Structure 1
Amino acid sequence: MRGLRKAPRTPVAVAGILATPLFFVALMAMSLALEKPAVHHVLKHGKAVAKLADPSGTTEATIWLLALLPAAALVLVGTGAMLIGRSGVIVSTLAAIAGAVGLMVPLRTWERHHTARFPDGVDLIPHSAGSQDIYLRGEWEETARHTAVQLGIATIVIAAVAIAIFLLFEIRRRRGLTAPVPQPPPEIATAEAQLTRGRSGEPRL
């Protein structure tokens, strides 16, 4: 704990920034992967018929909890990366990139599975209902995947920018490039010049 108190906070700060878009990538991804309609059996013409309904509260809660895990894991990685100093920024950014890529790779598979689970679209209204049918089959899934990909790319770009800024500062620090020393105010500069001239005119013993 003492090491964390004295360690630079930049790694965890970068991780916190990247955790926000990563959370929304995970939320879209988990929705595609896990969301499914509830199934109720009703009697129709004396026979039990399966009827699809909105997803249960348990399913929705599971999606949100699992969506939080990548962001929480990233913050934990950033916290641990504080122990290795400024270089921990690289660890935080690489972890964010890995998380974003890991969530984006299976998106198309999850999109197909989600579409199969909602044959009438996520609104569960058949196309025959006309204007009442808000989402066509697969329409929401395509939008969700596209949004997740855009957010994933944004996460990777932000991480790359953070790496570039870190490397730039490291190069400047190692080369010893410091800001120029500010010039003294005019009155001080004049006094120093007069004192220098006065000393140069003193006779030597």
Structure 2
Amino acid sequence: MTRFWKAPKAPLAVAAILAMPLFFTALMATSLAVEKPTVVGHVLRHGRLVAKLGDPSGTTEAAIWLLAIVAPLAVVLIGAGAMMIGRAGVIASALAAIVASVVLLVPLGTWANRHTGRYPDGIDLIRQSSSSDIYLRGEWEGTARTTARQLGIVTIVLGGAAIGVFVLLEVRRRRGVKGMIVPPPPALAEGQSQTVRTGMGRRWFGR
């Protein structure tokens, strides 16, 4: 346990940062995958009995939030475990976030199409012929898909940047490259030079 607390915190910090955009990516993705309306009754439309749809149930909403937490929580846990392998754990944290993003982005189109099928009148459940209709069929799904894709790409880019920075710093460390030596200000350098000259004069001429 003592070893864990003394381990480098960089892997956990990187995992926590990447977990934020990953969470919202997962939230959009799981909404498309899981959300579905409830059937509140049936109405007669064009001589046919059609189900009247209502808002998603509380159970469905809770499932969406719980599923959305799974991926970012897994990344944070991997980051915590990666602390035990030292600074190189940053790569493990970043790769975990990148893989999780890809897993969520690949089936995004399928989930969006299925969600559209579950909401034939749009996410607002209002028929297009009504003056109060806000969302057309598939409109919200397109927006959610775009948002999830953008956030997923952000997560991947940040993960790649974290790996790149780590590799760069590690190469510099292994080569023993330190920061640039900044010369003193001109006034200070001139003062030091004058002091040296005065000291040498006293040494040679006994002043």
TM-score, normalisation: structure 1: 0.87
Distance in 2 separating the partners of 1:73 and 1:193 = 66
Supply the RMSD in Å over aligned alpha carbons.
2.4
- AA paired with 1:4? F
Give the CA deviation at 1:69.
Answer: 0.9
- AA paired with 1:72? L
Describe how 1:92-107 pairs up with structure 2 within 5 A. 92-107=93-108
Cα contact 2:82–2:90 (8 A) shared by 1 = yes
- Deviation string 1:67-98 (CA, Å, 9 cap, x unpaired) is 01111111000000000000000000000000
Describe how 1:151-190 pairs up with structure 2 within 5 A. 151-180=151-180
Distance in 1 separating the partners of 2:180 and 2:144 = 52
Distance 1:43 1:157, change over 3 A: closer
- AA paired with 2:95? L
Cα contact 2:91–2:163 (8 A) shared by 1 = yes
- Deviation string 1:157-186 (CA, Å, 9 cap, x unpaired) is 111111111111111101101235566865
Distance in 2 separating the partners of 1:93 and 1:163 = 7
Describe how 1:34-183 pairs up with structure 2 within 5 A. 34-42=34-42, 50-129=51-130, 131-180=131-180
Cα contact 1:52–1:124 (8 A) shared by 2 = yes
Distance in 1 separating the partners of 2:56 and 2:153 = 29
Give runs of ≥4 in structure 1 deviating > 4 Å: 42-45, 180-199
Distance in 2 separating the partners of 1:15 and 1:88 = 10
Give the CA deviation at 1:40.
Answer: 1.7
Distance in 2 separating the partners of 1:147 and 1:51 = 29
Count of aligned positions? 199
- Structure 2: give runs of 5+ residues left out of the alignment: none
TM-score, normalisation: structure 2: 0.86
Distance in 1 separating the partners of 2:202 and 2:173 = 41
Mean Cα displacement is larger for which, 36-45 or 51-60? 36-45
- Deviation string 1:84-126 (CA, Å, 9 cap, x unpaired) is 0000000000000000000000001101110111010010001
- AA paired with 1:3? R
Cα contact 2:43–2:52 (8 A) shared by 1 = no
Distance 1:193 1:61, change over 3 A: farther
Cα contact 1:35–1:60 (8 A) shared by 2 = yes
Distance in 1 separating the partners of 2:4 and 2:71 = 22
Distance in 2 separating the partners of 1:69 and 1:160 = 22
SS in 1 for 2:162: helix
Distance in 2 separating the partners of 1:193 and 1:73 = 66
- AA paired with 1:146? T
Cα contact 1:27–1:64 (8 A) shared by 2 = yes
- AA paired with 2:104? L
Distance in 2 separating the partners of 1:193 and 1:174 = 40
Distance in 2 separating the partners of 1:180 and 1:157 = 29
User: Which position in structure 2 is the counterpart of 1:23?
Assistant: 23
- Structure 1: give runs of 5+ residues left out of the alignment: none
